[in-house]
Every structure is written in C-alpha cells, then in structure tokens.
Structure 1
Amino acid sequence: MFSHQLPKAADPILQAIYDHPFVQGIGDGHVDDAALKFYVEQDFQYLSEFIKIYASIIPLLKNREDMRFFAENIDFILNSEIHPHHIFCDIAGVEYESLQHATPSPKAYLYQSHMYRAVQSGKLINIICALLPCPWTYNEIAKQITALGKNTDDNQFKSWIDFYMDDGEASDGDLTRRLFDMVDNLAANLGEDDLIEAKQYFLKSTELEWEFWQQAFYQEGWRFADVIEGGKNE
C-alpha cells in the first residue's frame, strides 16, 4: 500500500529527528529556554498557515464525513494545540502572548511555501502528503520517548509528550491513521507519476520537520533581520 511506502521511505529522516538534540532534550527533560521560545514563536506562525492548508482541502471533498473530519481538526489546531505551546512557555518562563508576532524564519517560510505549492497543484493527495508529516512525526516522537522509558512524572515535558501520544484525535494515532487511509484511497486511482509527485511532498515535508527542530535549537532566523524587519514599515 502507498501509505506503507511513505513512512518507509522517510525513515532515515525520522531517525534523524529522533536523534536531534532538541528532541533528545525533550526526552531528557531539558531544552534551553531560548530554543523553546524560538520554537513557539515559529510554530505559532506555522500553525496559523497550517489551518489555512486544512481549510483548502474542504472544497475538494465530496462527502460530509470527510468535511467534518477536517473541520474538527481545524478547530483542534485553533483551540487545543496551544496546550503544548503553553507547556514550553511555562518551562521557559515567558508569556505566550509575547511570542505570537514573530516574522517566519527562513526555514518556516520555506515550509509554508512548500505546503502552499501543494495546494496550488490542485491535487488532494499532494496536499494531504504535504501536511501529514507534521502530525505523523510528532506522534512518532512521543511514542519513541515513551518507549525509551523517558515519559516519566519527573520529566517536565511529560504533558507535552502525552499530548502528542494522543495524536490530536481520540488516541492511538487516529489522526495519522485516518490521513494515511485517505492517501491510500486517493492513490488507488492514480498513475505512477502522480504517486512519485505525492511522495516527494511527503518526504520534503518530513525533512522540513527536521529543519524546524534545527532552526529552533540554534535560533536560525534571518541573517539580515534588521533589513527585512525595517522594510516592513516602509
């Protein structure tokens, strides 16, 4: 099945995400405050665009059950996915509201542009493959940390890990499983070229998930931020 091919192809990237010092730090219970703040600043902006990507899917759907699924996930991102942001903010000792006005970093900007390119393709499978690595990798991170016995009561990130173990839906990877099932249903009617294209969206989004951790850990913003930020007011 096509949905089995995608995680298998992306596994080297997923392993690198597991090994990333930011993700390792979540498992070990310590990440520098500066990295946590940069992450929240950028993820707030990213999720604002992610909501729009989800919304772009609804006009392409044919049945109300699928419409309900995506509408509920838009509501989840808007109203529930602020919880892990609050966890990072509490640990870093910063007010969440103070981190909601950042300019998207180069890597975040690239990730957003990549997803919009999927939307512009007009192909539902491309859009789902572009957004799927976000919930998929976070669920896998939480499962990996838990499997290693690091999701303990004395880990200050425990509630963050628990949140992504639930995968944003009922539990047990429901969200990602539903999205992978949709990918399989769409793939059944597509030719090889379309499947290659969809896989590229999935793999590139998976790498961009790694890049997101990387940019936050090292606070990789715009090199000429003073010029870019100054230009916003001209």
Structure 2
Amino acid sequence: MSDFTTTLTGTINRTCQESITHPFIDQLSSGKLPQATFRYYLIQDHHYLTAFNQLHQLIADHLPEPDATILRHLSEGEDLAREKMHREINLSNAEITAAPVAPTAYAYISHMYYQLNRYGVAAAAAGLLPCYWLYSRVAQKLTGHHSPVPLYQEFFDSYAAADFTASTDQMKEIVNHQASEANLATRQQMQAAFNISCYYEKQFWQMAFEQQEWKY
C-alpha cells in the first residue's frame, strides 16, 4: 500500500483550489490583506504549531527508524521560518501568550490529539499530512503571482522552497509506511483523519480572515 496517499489526491486538490480562491489567500497574494489580519493568523498559527510540533514527538515515539527520527526533525524548520516573520512585525512572545486560542484553532488541535488518543499513530500521522501537503500545493500553484508585500511573499516562498517540498514528501512516505502495515479499518480511519484536517485547514483561513473570537 505504498501509494496510499494517491487515494488522498482528490481531497487535497479540492482543498487546494478552495484555499487559493479564499479571500485570505487571495488578499495575501494580492497584497491587500491587512497586516492586522496576518498578525492574527501568525498568533493562532503559533498556537497550532505548538501542538503540531508536540504531536510530531508523540507520534515519533511509536514509529520505527528511520521514520521516527525523520518525523522529529520535520517540525524544526517551521519554527525558524515563523520566528523570522514574528521579528519582522515585532510580534512578541508575550503578545502570543496573552492571546487565547481561537475556536477553530482549538477544534483543529483537539481533532489531532483525538486521532492519536482514540485511533492511534497511523490516523494521527495522516491527520498531520494536510498541513504539509496543502501549504506546499498552494505555494506552488501561486508561483509567479508575487505579492507586492515582501512579508507576504516571504510566507509563500517558504512553502514553495525545495526543502519544504522534500519535507512534504517525507511526511507522505511516513503515512504510506503506516498504511502499508494497517488493516482496512485503520486505513479508513487514516482517510477520515486526513479529510477532517483538510476541513480544518480551510476553516483556519476563514478564522484568520474574520479574526474569530469566542462568543460566550
């Protein structure tokens, strides 16, 4: 089942197309997105990535080598890219810490932990994949459409880079390895976890675009 991720291509293609036409990505590409909106996105993305990185470690603890080592290393580059963006807009750790996790980010994070705790490593790994695959596809699709705002173009460039494409391919292979050893029920749950993560990836754009807040 080395080509398990091939069965996910239709879902990621639809998610990519819906993302490119979403106002958040459209305005990011055109340079029209207010910086306050992008700032909100970076704050919520930091909350998400904190959990995302921890999940890499938790999942890696149950993987064979070399997949375990690869997965542990995969999350490291994301932090470095984000830290540079944070410095460019003077986004402090104190400001990030003070901001609550927004409803959609909270739900997405909860989904990823639920997949690991309820269904196990294979489903959890599949749930991580859309973050890699979607960002890579969106950035590649927008190659040639340069944002007039350097910070926004830097965002796209970081995901169009060869090293991120390589990271995406490595994550796909980890998922394929898990699927090759899984029974039908587990593979079905892997697909479900992937689909739900794709849903939340799209919702994440909308959350950022409207600067979503809790309404009690």
Deviation of the 1:123 alpha carbon: 2.5
Q: Unmatched 5+ residue regions in structure 2?
A: none
Selected match of 1:61 from 47, 60, 63: 63
Identify the residue that residue 116 of structure 1 maps to in structure 2: 113
Q: Is the 8 A contact 2:139 2:160 kept in 1?
A: yes
How does 1:24-39 map onto structure 2 within 5 Å?
24-39=26-41
Instruction: Return closer, same or farther for 1:78/1:10 CA change in 2, 3 Å cut-off.
Output: closer
Query: C-alpha offsets along residues 173-222 of structure 1, whole Å, 9 cap, x if unaligned?
Result: 11111111122222122222221111010011011011111011011110
Selected match of 1:95 from 84, 87, 91: 91
Quick one: distance in 1 between partners of 2:138 and 2:13? 12
Select the structure of larger CA radius of gyration.
Answer: 1
Aligned AA (2:130): P
Quick one: distance in 2 between partners of 1:185 and 1:205? 19
Q: Is the 8 A contact 1:37 1:99 kept in 2?
A: no
Selected match of 1:150 from 140, 145, 150: 145
Q: TM-score, normalised by structure 1?
A: 0.83
Instruction: Return closer, same or farther for 1:134/1:99 CA change in 2, 3 Å cut-off.
Output: farther
* 2:213 is aligned with 1:221: yes
Q: Is the 8 A contact 1:55 1:74 kept in 2?
A: no
Identity value in percent: 24
Quick one: distance in 1 between partners of 2:72 and 2:185? 30
Greater relative contact order, per chain length (Cα 8 Å cut-off, separation 6+):
2
Quick one: distance in 1 between partners of 2:95 and 2:136? 24
Selected match of 1:207 from 171, 193, 199: 199
Query: C-alpha offsets along residues 79-129 of structure 1, whole Å, 9 cap, x if unaligned?
Result: 343234445xx3xxx534353121111101100000001110352221111
Identify the residue that residue 75 of structure 1 maps to in structure 2: 76
Aligned to 2:75, what secondary structure does the other structure show? helix
Q: Is the 8 A contact 1:51 1:77 kept in 2?
A: no
Superposition RMSD in Å: 1.9
Quick one: distance in 1 between partners of 2:86 and 2:25? 15
Aligned to 1:100, what secondary structure does the other structure show? helix
Aligned AA (2:14): P
* 2:151 is aligned with 1:141: no
Q: TM-score, normalised by structure 2?
A: 0.89
Aligned to 1:70, what secondary structure does the other structure show? helix
Selected match of 1:131 from 112, 125, 128: 128
Aligned to 2:172, what secondary structure does the other structure show? helix
Q: Unmatched 5+ residue regions in structure 1?
A: 225-234
Identify the residue that residue 180 of structure 1 maps to in structure 2: 172
